[in-house]
Structure 1
Amino acid sequence: MRFRMGRDCGPEGFPGALFAMDFGGGRGWSKGWSWGGDWGDGGGRGRRGRGRMFTGDQLRLLLLRLIADEPRHGYDLIRAIEELSHGAYAPSPGVVYPTLTMLQDMDLIEETKSKSARKVFTATEEGEAHLKEHAEEVDGLLERLKEAGSDNRKAGGAPIKRSVASLLSALWHRVTREDADEDVMHKIAAILDEAAQKIERLT
């Protein structure tokens, strides 16, 4: 037994609301359900869909601003951006570390002594001056992260997205098995109904 794609929702019989919350519409429908679509900045997770969240120049400015706020290493920067966007965006290490090297080559940041084994960077005087010259643009980048975070919270945030993704994956693998008869479908429906009722009763 296999589900067909409905017109106004995902696989037929599933509420379109789940997919409107950014869990569906991605690639790979012929092989299963997909969510998240084409995210990223060429090396990270970003707003879904059309192109990069930040250009290379914009990401350099954003990292420089975060380093100017306080000394940070690469993982700190990835985590800080993900927190600012409430999980909606996080650049990958493959993007962040080359960008840090470029900022060093431009004399905008420098490595500082740290008890940690990781390289910790601070902004140089040139870096601080560069930020002042581009203050308006930096504010716009931070606002973009804030907006992405707002959109992500409306969709339930990262924990809800992960949970729904796991649910959809489990459903897909179970209902497409050869032994998925009507009895199994009724049991699955009962589990889903019970979960829905518990969520509705939450205060």
Structure 2
Amino acid sequence: MTDAVLAGTWVVDLRRRTSFSRGHLPGTVSMEYGTQFATYVGWLVPWEDELVLLCDDPEDLGSALRDLAAIGMDGPRTHLLDVATPLPATYRRADWAAFRDEVAQAPVAPVVVDVRQRDEHDQEHLPGSLNLPVQDVDLRGADLPPGELWVHCRSGYRAGIAASILHRMGRRVVHVDDAWERVAELAIPTTTGGVAA
């Protein structure tokens, strides 16, 4: 599996995003298996690139292969994770309450990356956040400012994908895995208009 990562292959981990953040193989990308899985793989992984699916559940692997075949992506390699496989790479997950509390204490505002689509960001976003839609993260993530990146979307799914791609690039990330509606509930300030990354 390490050889596939080193060769630049897209190694996509299907496990839950909570499991991925707690431990994964370096260089892998998190795309939690579920109803959105095939849509995001088909959208984000270049069709000419080799794809490897990685999971600890054979049933999810089989379902993922069927879903990808339905959109015309046949033949990805698969790898079933053994329970003894070391998963040394990790990053933080946080909710909006943790974000609010840490920002209040921080001497410098964190770099916030909003990976929703441009119209979602323009409608309402955190002041100073950078809009880098999830489909552009692999291409433009290297252009983000230095420092720890707090990555969010509307529900946490897209942010999980984006955080894993940025982590693969060597960035320190915090995956904000929480619903956008919680921002209003916690009285976190927002604004409108756009700031692209």
TM-score per shorter chain, which class?
under 0.3
Structure ranking higher on relative contact order (CA contacts 8 Å, 6+ apart): 2
TM-score (norm 2): 0.23
More helix by share: 1
TM-score (norm 1): 0.23
More strand by share: 2
Look at both structures and tell me which one has the larger radius of gyration over its CA atoms. Answer: 1
